[in-house]
A and B are shown apart, each in its own frame.
Chain A
Amino acid sequence: MARIPASYMINRLLTLFLTVFIAATLIWIIPRLSPIDPVDVMLGRMAAGGGSIENSGAILTQLRESFGLDQPLVVQYFLYIKNTLTLDFGLSTASFPTPVAQLIGQALPWTLGLMLISLIITFIIGNLLGALMVWENTPRLWKVAIPSAMVMTAIPPLLSGLLLMYVFSSQLGWFPLTGAYGLNVEPGWDAGFAGSVLYHGFLPAMSIVLVTFGFWALGMRGLMITVQGEDYSVLAKAKGLRPRYILYRYMIRNAILPQVTAFALQIGGLVAGQVLVERIFAYPGMGKLLYDAILDQDFPVIQGVSFVIILMTAIAVFLVDLVYPLIDPRIRHGRD
């Protein structure tokens, strides 16, 4: 019987559009304000690098047209917006003349996979540990061990990746060093491929999990403390409910609500950590794409990747906001 108020939906949609719009604008404006016009640099490099490629002249001309690069700024802006909304980000300078969208399209599934898995694992483990830190029935040992483990949040994910790689790959040989899937495995929708992907994705995912779970745990701890002091926790105990039942259905169930909202926002933040992890493990995701683009000063790719990541985050926020009324009945009935 979920009746999501129409005004709520419209509000969220509006925020989504506004976010995407402002992000795109920012990404477009910032370089334009620079004294060195990166567009010229970019074109110059394309022309130089495209010498050996057929039709490079024609391709460049087409690029100029579709992005209006010879036209006044205002026109350029609108063309840019139009192109961005159709996911046309131009051509990569480093891998000229490959369209940026194609590069992103190849990298995106890997990132989504790695990111989603790590995010979900981190979310579950982090929140559970945060809750256990506060629950009165947690064995004392755990209550000391968990905060100690949280210290790992201080380590840049880069180093946890290195550490894991060193220990588990080089020394113990349990997990593979590089790649998204085995060298002799054919990509396809079968169990063998899926297995290989999971196997290869495990260490990268773990290095992210180890350093980000502390953030969730800390937040959950604070929320659980508030919930613990609420009257319904008191009545739950007075009803003689089993402690574990109280933990899950009364405490965590209520404390987790704000964390769900934060979950969507983390997608954007996670990329920062993933960039280096992907590089170390040579994992062909968006992080590695971005890193290589920075090194090669491949501007269109940087722009494209940035935009796509923001787009993903905004969509995730929107989806979570849609789902939220289903888990919090107070919102469902029009109360804000």
Chain B
Amino acid sequence: MGVQGTTDRAIPGAARGPGAAPPELTARQVRRMKRFDNPWRNPKLIWGAGLLLSIVALGILGRLFWDTDLVFTGSGMPRQAPVGVENIRGQIGSWAHPLGTDVSGKDLLALLIVGAPNSLYVGVLASLIGMSTGIFLGFTAGFVGGRTDDVIRVLSDVMITIPPLLILVVFQAAYGDISLTLMALLIAAFVWQSPTRLIRAQVLSMREAGYVQMARLSGASTGHIMFREMLPNLVPYLFGSFIANVTTSIVTAVGLEVLGLGPQRIPTLGRVIYDAINSGALIQNLWWWWGIPTLLLAVMFIGLLLINLGLDEVSNPRLRRL
């Protein structure tokens, strides 16, 4: 029984009187209400997914239509500005390098085409591995309980205190270079804690749910209860958690790359920014070099944020506003 609302009055302007018909709802309100029928048609979700898909599209289409060998040094004239813009040397950018080049002649568009999906890849992979681990551990902790639960809980409490960046820094300082996949794996080691907690809490409360008890009475095996009864109802939470973890993973990865760590020979967005800062892009006013990757990063994060908010609204009807 929800009890809030600042207007209990009829929609202002409508004629009222004994026997009058209820006021007509505006067309906008009708559209909004229809939206509630299918919560998946949520503008935030759609925009967010759209933004992310455009990044993926950039990666796929870009490889088809643009020469990715241009990521290598000397592919073009150095310090070129984007098309139509003039750099400090008075040279005007050309279509040969629509987004300009960096200080060693690498084509920025090529860097982005390769780099942006790479950053997304790390985030998604780390989140997938982290979530799977989290689901497994969370279910085990919630279902089995007892000592196992204690161990898992303490372990996750401890690990959550350790910032992944630092361990990654230590790791890289010792090993030199690191591959994209390995970085993703390491990040995943720090991402499983919150899904574990989330799922454990859900499992603990679902264990007492009526339909779980009915399943037990129906002779269901533990496996059936976990995967066929509980898991489908967890999906909204899992999805939201997944997206949040993708964001955190990308942030961690970018944080590492911007420090000059991370994969040394593979283009990633963070690396491009690092190169820019370190090569004096600021002083030489090569704004496109660090600005456009930042923009892409921003697009990625905004997309993820929108999906997150959209999923929130799907799983929690109270958030939907008329």
Contacts and interface: CB of A to CB of B under 8 A. Distances in A.
Interface of A: 14-15, 18-19, 22-23, 26-27, 30-31, 33-34, 36, 38, 136-137, 150-151, 153-156, 158-159, 162, 218, 222, 225, 228-229, 233-234, 237-238, 265, 268-269, 271-273, 275-276, 290-291, 294-295, 297, 299, 302-303, 305-306, 309-310, 313-314, 317
B254 interface: yes
Contacts of B158: 15, 18-19, 22
Contacts of A27: 167, 170
A154 to B, nearest CB: 3
A307 to B, nearest CB: 9
Interface in B212-267: 251-252, 254-255, 258-261
B162 A310 contact: yes
B173 A31 contact: yes
A313 B163 contact: yes
The 10 closest A-B pairs by CB, nearest first: A154-B301, A268-B163, A31-B174, A306-B166, A154-B298, A34-B174, A272-B255, A272-B165, A19-B158, A234-B3
A309 B163 contact: yes
B160 interface: yes
A306 B308 CA distance: 32
Nearest to A317: B161
B305 A310 contact: no
Contact of B305 (A19, A26, A153, A265): A153
A87 B282 CA distance: 39
Interface in B266-320: 273, 277, 282, 290, 294, 297-298, 300-302, 305, 308, 312, 316, 318-319
A34 to B, nearest CB: 4
Contacts of B159: 22
Given A18-B154, A290-B169, A302-B173, A269 B161 contact: no
10 contacts: A31-B174, A34-B174, A136-B6, A154-B305, A156-B273, A218-B305, A234-B1, A272-B252, A276-B259, A306-B167
Given A38-B174, A317-B161, A294 B261 contact: yes
Interface string B163-185: 10111011101111000000000
Contacts of A222: 312
Nearest to A143: B321
A268 B161 contact: yes
A248 B3 CA distance: 19
A214 B3 CA distance: 29
B178 to A, nearest CB: 11
B38 interface: no
Main secondary structure, interface of A, reads helix
Nearest to B163: A268
Contact of A15 (B154, B251, B252): B154
Nearest to B157: A15
A158 B302 CA distance: 17
A21 B259 CA distance: 27
A76 B291 CA distance: 47
Interface residues of B, number: 47
B210 interface: no
A156 B294 contact: yes
Given A153-B301, A155-B298, A229 B163 contact: no
- Which of A34, A158, A275, A303 has the most C-beta atoms of chain B within 10 angstroms of its own C-beta? A158
B205 interface: no
A2 B237 CA distance: 36
Given A18-B158, A156-B254, A299 B173 contact: yes
Contact of A291 (B166, B259, B305): B259
Contact of A228 (B1, B4, B308, B312): B4
B294 A155 contact: yes
Nearest to B248: A269
Contacts of B4: 136, 228, 233-234, 237
Contact of A306 (B170, B258, B297, B319): B170
A228 B265 CA distance: 51
A158 B154 CA distance: 34
B301 A229 contact: no
Contact of B175 (A34, A237, A271): A34
Contact of A268 (B1, B166, B170): B166
A30 B157 contact: no
B2 interface: yes
A136 B321 CA distance: 12
Nearest to B254: A156
A77 to B, nearest CB: 16
Contacts of A269: 163, 165
Given A155-B294, A162-B282, A314-B161, 8 more contacts: A14-B154, A30-B167, A30-B174, A31-B173, A34-B175, A225-B319, A294-B169, A294-B260
A306 B316 CA distance: 40
Contacts of A313: 161-163
Nearest to A22: B158
A290 B312 CA distance: 38
Contacts of B3: 234, 237-238
A144 to B, nearest CB: 12
Contacts of B174: 30-31, 33-34, 36, 38, 299
A295 B169 CA distance: 11
A317 B49 CA distance: 36
A195 to B, nearest CB: 29
B291 to A, nearest CB: 9
Contacts of A225: 316, 318-319
Given A36-B176, A136-B4, A158 B258 contact: yes
Given A18-B158, A228-B4, A302-B173, A309 B166 contact: yes
